[in-house]
């Protein structure tokens, strides 16, 4: 079974590296349960020869869950090779989703090891070092990712793509209502004209970014993994993902939390 998990991870990793897609994992390698999907995902770091620097959540809104036909959020690993400096220009080559997602992210300042009793939101908050505006450019290795099913999506690292983390927000964020906190995003084309503007808020993340973070902490605990100090936690998009094409620049303004930007190329 372990060999099959590694082979599945290798197939998905090769597709990621080459910008290819597959219809589905072969029958002999295909996961049919969440646990089997997570076992394949757990083989990814060794296959990729990369380190895990954090975790992400996919499908934190009901609309997002409906889009990919799942009944809840999905946890995925963030590999160090897929984290880029804020303000970078990232190539869209091989990326079929072609969206940018403004997210709320956290940096852990203390471990949250696996345990039998679920963590409370207060315990999780106490382990957080900082809050950061962030972007993800997600992607999938499946030709029809909306039909792949929960187990295969988990195996594919919950559609993890590339990440950019902004500077830490002022410490006063701990006293603010993150659910109500607004985010304004603008997509500007190569001609300098705004092609899209969109509003979002923290409530898109399972009702509140801290609720999403607590869900993730307990999901990792259940998997026997747990958060480690220094881990990133990117907790999901706070608005409908922004469609982008080569030459676009995306700016997301989080008000007192700061503004972030990313550009995309061919």
Nearest 10 degrees: Cα torsion 265, 13, 74, 90: -10
- pLDDT of the residue at 2: 78
Distance CA 179, CA 208 (A): 4
The domain segmentation of the chain, as residue ranges, is 2-265
Phi-psi region of 156 (alpha: psi -120 to 50; beta: other; left: phi over 0): alpha
Statement: residue 101 has pLDDT above 70? yes
Confidence label for 1 from pLDDT (cuts 50, 70 and 90): low
Q: pLDDT per residue over 10-69, tens digit each?
A: 999 999 999 999 999 999 999 999 999 999 999 999 999 999 999 999 999 888 999 899
Global confidence as pTM: 0.97
Statement: residue 145 has pLDDT above 70? yes
Q: How many CA atoms lie within 13 A of 233 on its CB side?
A: 35
The residues near 116 (Cβ < 8 Å, ≥ 6 apart) are none
For residue 120, the tally of other CB atoms under 10 A from its CB is 12
Confidence label for 222 from pLDDT (cuts 50, 70 and 90): very high
Statement: residue 110 has pLDDT above 90? yes
- pLDDT of the residue at 3: 81
Distance CA 133, CA 118 (A): 27
Main-chain dihedrals φ then ψ at residue 49, nearest 5 degrees: 55, 50
CATH class belonging to 2-265:
alpha beta
Q: pLDDT per residue over 147-166, tens digit each?
A: 999 999 999 999 999 999 99
Which residues is 233 bridged to in the sheet?
55, 106
Which of 57, 50, 85, 86 has its CA nearest to residue 73? Answer: 57
Distance CA 85, CA 92 (A): 16
Q: pLDDT per residue over 53-71, tens digit each?
A: 999 999 998 889 998 999 9
């Amino acid at each position: 079974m372990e060999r099959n998990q590694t082979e599945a991870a290798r197939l998905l990793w090769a597709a990621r590296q080459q910008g290819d897609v597959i219809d589905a994992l072969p029958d002999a390698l295909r996961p049919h349960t969440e646990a089997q999907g997570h076992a394949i995902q757990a083989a990814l770091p060794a296959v990729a020869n990369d380190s895990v620097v954090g975790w992400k959540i996919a499908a934190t809104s009901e609309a997002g869950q409906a889009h990919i036909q799942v009944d809840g959020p999905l946890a995925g690993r963030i590999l160090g090779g897929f984290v880029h400096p804020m303000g970078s220009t990232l190539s869209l080559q091989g990326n079929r989703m072609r969206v940018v997602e403004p997210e709320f992210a956290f940096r852990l300042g203390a471990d949250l090891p696996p345990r039998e009793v679920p963590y409370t939101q207060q315990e999780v908050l106490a382990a957080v070092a900082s809050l950061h505006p962030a972007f993800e450019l997600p992607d999938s290795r499946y030709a029809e990712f909306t039909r792949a099913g929960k187990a295969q999506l988990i195996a594919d690292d919950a559609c993890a793509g590339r990440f950019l983390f902004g500077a830490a927000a002022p410490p006063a964020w701990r006293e603010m209502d993150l659910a109500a906190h607004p985010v304004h995003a603008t997509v500007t084309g190569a001609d300098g004209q705004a092609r899209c503007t969109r509003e979002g808020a923290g409530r898109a993340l399972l009702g509140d970014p801290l609720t999403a973070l607590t869900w993730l902490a307990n999901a990792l605990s259940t998997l026997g993994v747990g958060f480690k100090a220094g881990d990133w936690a990117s907790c999901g998009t706070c608005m409908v993902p922004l469609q982008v094409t080569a030459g676009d620049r995306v700016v997301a303004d989080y008000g007192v939390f700061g503004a972030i930007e990313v550009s995309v190329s061919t």
